[in-house]
Amino acid sequence: MLGKMVSIGFDLATLPARMTLRGAKAAVSMPGDIDHFLREVRQASDEVAREIEQLLSSVDAEMSRKAAHLSPAQKQQAANLALGAAEQHLSMAAVNILRALWLAMDSNRSLQNRRDPVIIEHEG
C-alpha cells in the first residue's frame, strides 16, 4: 500500500519533467545528442526508482513487523509522534543547510576581499 501511494506521488511529481523532456526532444534537431541524453536520464531515473522501491520494501517489512501488535489508535499516535520528529529534523536540516551556505559564501567573500600581496620571506 505504501509503495502504491509513493509510486502515484512519484509519477505525479515527475510529470512536469517528463513533459519538458518530450517537448525538448521535439524541439532539438540533433536526434543523436538528445537520444544519448535521454538514455542517461532514463538510467538515472531507473536507478533512483530501484532505490526507492528497495527503501519502501524495507520500511514496509520493518513497520509490519514492529507495529503488528499495535491497535489502530496506537498506530495513529505513533504516526503523529513520528511526523513531529520528522518535522523537527527537517527544520534543523534546513537551518543547517542555510548555515553551511552562509559560511561557504562568507569564506569566499573573505578570500576575495584579501587583495594585499603576500610576501614570503626566506632565510638564506
Q: What residue has cell string 536526434?
A: 31
Residue 89 lies in a domain: yes
Look at the chain and report how many structural domains it folds into: 2
Q: Which residue has the higher pLDDT, 118 or 16?
A: 16
Give domain status of residue 13, yes or no: yes
Looking up cell 495513529 gives 76
In angstroms, how far is CA 11 from the centroid of its own chain?
A: 16
Range of the domain at 8: 1-69
Distances (CA, A) of 100 to 12, 92, 109: 32, 12, 14
The answer on 104 and 90 residing in a single domain is: yes
- Chain segment 53-100, per-residue pLDDT in tens: 998 999 999 999 999 999 999 999 999 999 999 999 999 999 999 998
Residue 36 lies in a domain: yes
- Do 34 and 62 sit in the same domain of this protein? yes
Shared domain for 2 and 59, answered yes or no, is yes
User: Where would I find the H helices in the chain?
Assistant: 2-27, 31-66, 72-113
pTM as predicted: 0.46
